[in-house]
Structure 1
Amino acid sequence: MATAHDDVRTPTGAGGSDPAPPPEPENASVLVANDDGEYLLHLRDNLPGVWEPGAWSLLGGGREPGDRSLEETARRELWEEAGLVLPLLQRFRVELVTALDGATVPVQVFTARWNGDPDSLHLTEGVMLRWFAPEIMPRLRLSPSTLDLVRDHAAHRPAAPRSTVADAPVPPEAQRPAEGADRRGVPHVVGVHLYLENAQGEVLLGLRHPDCAFAGGRWHFLAGHGEQESAIACLVREAYEEAGLLIHPRDAELVHVVHLCDAPGSRPRLQLVFRVRRWAGDPVIREPDKCLTWRWWNPDALPEPIVAYTRTAVQRLREGHLYTETGWA
């Protein structure tokens, strides 16, 4: 049986032939669902010594000495394995799994809701993360207990919350897309960017690691993707996670928006730039796999290579503009 972890821990004193009831869980996993009724699965490495190698499973792992609760274990594992931060975890049930040594191990399963793009996450373990509908899962290499877990949750989960805002009547002409336009709704990616100036009027930029999926080897704002959180909450989190900077939400001011389409047919992006005039700490490298260095730059002499919309945003907001469109035909 399996939920998902490279490090399912056998509790002290537990053995495969021990007839006593299993002890309290020392492991946690998270059943993440989106509003379309799909579930997030993690494809594990197919390597010797990996528990359930090459199988799809849930994100999770064993409790560490510094974890104050199993919920904290679950949150730490989400962050360490996938860079995923979720605002609400709820206890679902305890699953019994079989560890590498054959012992039966209880795992506390939490549930969470997220509607993000798995490809936007920073995966540090396993091969990939993907959304799957429950009816597709029998085709996967998947533990029967994980499949039962998903089916049980799907059968009893509440409907996705609907907007409380009443639908306003829309004139018929407004319902028709422009001639030649794509008639499907296209979700936009929301990016959040931090604009800081020091006492000399210099702007803080980071040199992205060459292996980054986005903007490798180029200078860019401190930035991140909005998750299941507000834009300002994302800004506060990214500032600390990437550079050790402490900012207060009330000090964040939206100063520019870039509506970006990199290429025809690509996924559109809304890039929000927030200015913060007060913060605590000096920028340090906290994620060396993403950023090599932080430096302050004269806005009239920005470095190269630089992300194109970063340069545009700096120039436009200094000119007093609040909005820029780029890349659209």
Structure 2
Amino acid sequence: MKTPIFYGAVHLLFYRDEHVLLLKRRNTGFEDGKWSVVAGRIDGGEEVKSAAIREAKEEAGVDILPEDLDIVGVVHRKNVNSEWIDFYLNVRAWSGEITNVEPHKCEALAWFPIRELPEPMIGYIRMALEKDHRLLWFESLGW
């Protein structure tokens, strides 16, 4: 029996007037040059919403209260050498001005019409953005 190795990640879905906030990755070693959302790994001993709040501050410079986050989707994703549990959180409100706090890892941070997503985009992020977020959804990818 293999010992499972799971990593957790949070993906924040910021919406404003039928637009979604996306960032273009660079210098990370993973999917660089592609559009994604504010996201990051869950640290050990860290709860999902706490991780989302930390990532929002680290990447976009904004503060979020736990009650302003809703988990809208979960993905069990398999990469070549790892397995991930990805949590997608809708951000209902935030304080502060969204800004690119990590320009060394983020080439651009911009709002896009939800029906006109840019290319190239990370595939599982596009899939998540196309989901209906009124009900909690689940996907398995890479199996």
TM-score range, shorter chain: over 0.9
Partners of 1:245 and 1:289 in 2: how far apart?
18
Structure 1: 4+ residue segments shifted above 3 A = 317-321
More strand by percentage:
2
One-letter amino acid of the counterpart of residue 41, structure 2: H
Partners of 2:78 and 2:134 in 1: how far apart?
23
Match of 1:213 among 29, 33, 42: 29
Q: Which residue of 1 aligns with 2:106?
A: 291
Tell me whether 1:197 sits opposite 2:27 in the alignment: no
Tell me whether 1:238 sits opposite 2:55 in the alignment: yes
Partners of 1:321 and 1:226 in 2: how far apart?
20
Partners of 1:195 and 1:251 in 2: how far apart?
12
Please tell me whether the aligned partners of residues 71 and 136 of structure 2 are also in contact (alpha carbons under 8 angstroms): no
Partners of 2:20 and 2:134 in 1: how far apart?
15
Please tell me whether the aligned partners of residues 243 and 286 of structure 1 are also in contact (alpha carbons under 8 angstroms): yes
Q: Which residue of 1 aligns with 2:84?
A: 269
1:130-179 CA-to-partner distances (Å, cap 9, x unmatched) read xxxxxxxxxxxxxxxxxxxxxxxxxxxxxxxxxxxxxxxxxxxxxxxxxx
1:114-136 CA-to-partner distances (Å, cap 9, x unmatched) read xxxxxxxxxxxxxxxxxxxxxxx
Partners of 1:237 and 1:318 in 2: how far apart?
22
Q: Which residue of 1 aligns with 2:6?
A: 188
1:270-320 CA-to-partner distances (Å, cap 9, x unmatched) read 110011111112211111111121111112111111111000111123484
Query: How many residues in Structure 1 have an aligned counterpart in Structure 2?
Result: 142
Which protein shows a greater Rg? 1
One-letter amino acid of the counterpart of residue 239, structure 1: A
Please tell me whether the aligned partners of residues 256 and 317 of structure 1 are also in contact (alpha carbons under 8 angstroms): no
Structure 1 pair 285/232, CA: closer, same or farther in 2 (3 Å)?
same
Q: Which residue of 1 aligns with 2:43?
A: 227
Q: Secondary structure at the match of 1:317?
A: coil
Match of 1:310 among 119, 125, 141: 125
Q: Secondary structure at the match of 2:29?
A: coil
Q: Measure how far apart 1:212 and its partner are.
A: 1.5
Q: In structure 2, list runs of 5 or more residues that go unmatched.
A: none
Q: Which residue of 2 aligns with 1:147?
A: none
Partners of 2:108 and 2:66 in 1: how far apart?
25
Q: In structure 1, list runs of 5 or more residues that go unmatched.
A: 1-182
1:92-121 CA-to-partner distances (Å, cap 9, x unmatched) read xxxxxxxxxxxxxxxxxxxxxxxxxxxxxx
Please tell me whether the aligned partners of residues 73 and 133 of structure 2 are also in contact (alpha carbons under 8 angstroms): no
